Amino acid sequence: MTMFFDPFRELDRVAGTLLDRRESPRLMPMDVYRDGDHFVLSADLPGVDPGSVDVDVDGQLLTIRAERTPRSNEGVQWLTRERPSGQYLRQLTLGKDIDTEGISAHYENGVLSVMLPVLEKAKPRKIAVATTTDRAQVTA
């Protein structure tokens, strides 16, 4: 078997191992966009057990927690182990215009989707313009 040795990749791996603190939460990449009258948050959590995903709201603070447990096979000698395991944590402060009672979440194919509805009072609305049909005439 032929193997390619890249010294920079090896240095990167060693530095990552030395600086890696297993107790610190992992970063979960996410996108947030507005779609009509709600916001959608999509967070990548590949390989995470859906039972470990926890989404909660406390006031205006949205917290997402998850855990990816390492696969441990006894007697296995790892050649490389690049897939991160551990806890994931992300906290976001929600605006006052979010309906915190209507938040819902769905996890599918390693992506957590959180729907954040906008309060009715914060939705865009049309303002009617009143006109006067009878104008007051000024006489001089």
Give the span between the Cα atoms of 94 and 43, in whole angstroms.
16
Across 41-45, 71-75, 111-115, 126-130, least confident range: 71-75
Highest mean predicted confidence (pLDDT) among 17-26, 45-54, 75-84: 45-54
Burial of 119 (0-12, 13-18, 19+ CB in 10 A): middle
Q: What is the mean pLDDT of residues 72-81?
A: 80
Q: What is the pTM of this model?
A: 0.68
**The pLDDT value given to residue 1:** 46
Give the span between the Cα atoms of 2 and 42, in whole angstroms.
40
Q: What is the mean pLDDT of residues 104-132?
A: 88
DSSP, collapsed to helix, strand or coil, labels residue 4 as coil
Is pLDDT of 114 > 80?
A: yes
Give the residue among 135, 87, 85, 94 at the shortest CA–CA distance from 118: 94
